[in-house]
Amino acid sequence: MTTPKQHTAMSRARQGLFDSRSSVRLRTALAVGTNPDPRLVDMLVERCAVEPDFHVRDMLTWALTRHPASVTVPKLVDEVRSERAQARSQALHTLSKIGDRRAWPAITREILSDADDEVARSAWRAAVLLVPEGQEGELAAVLATQLGRGERETQMSLSRALIALGEMIVPLLRVAVEDPGPRVRAHAIATEKLFHDPDSGFEFAIEEAKRTVAIGGAGREE
């Protein structure tokens, strides 16, 4: 049962988290994380779904990691199924920070290929951290289906996720290099180059891969 004092504290937390000033929201999230209270987890998750400020979102995630995973993980897993893209993305990001593998069932093929690039990127990062031992190959195969997707930042995120899975990605990349789509081929070539030479940098690798595709793939259609 909530005491009057606790009720007042919760009301103040809600008022602060939903204040129009980002500085107030940031301070409130910091305060909630500094003094964790499981009764405020729902409020933190709710705010994550709508918070427009990156720094406040980051603090909300930190505040959630300060609470017991037994309380936060089930609620965040529910958020992964939200219709709101930001709710899905932020929940996945927070799950990756918590690192509790009980969240793995939420990382479905559907979420790994989410239509929203930010959601997909968050899912890729979470997946490589949460994947159970022995399921890395299956994950790599799903991630490989996303090669060629999106703009530079999205492609770089996917390359990093694939590379984190290790040697098992090499056969998948060599198959993708023969794909009829130039974007897929270029992304696969760049990822393989980065895998073997991490110091080359993604920008250099992708531009070099595009030149390779242009020279070797003239006349092939997307």
What does the pLDDT read at residue 204? 66
pLDDT score at 2: 65
* Distance spanning both ends of the chain, measured CA to CA: 62
Q: How many CB atoms lie within 10 A of CB 6?
A: 12
Per-residue pLDDT of the chain (222 residues; tens, 9 = 90+): 667 777 788 899 999 999 999 999 999 999 999 999 999 999 999 999 999 999 999 999 999 999 999 999 999 999 999 999 999 999 999 999 999 999 999 999 999 999 999 999 999 999 999 999 999 999 999 999 999 999 999 999 999 999 999 999 999 999 999 999 999 999 999 999 999 888 777 776 777 777 777 776 533 433
pLDDT value at position 217? 53
Do 113 and 80 contact (CB within 8 A), yes or no? no
| Encoded amino acid at 35, one letter | N
* Closest by CA position to 46, among listed 2, 82, 1: 82
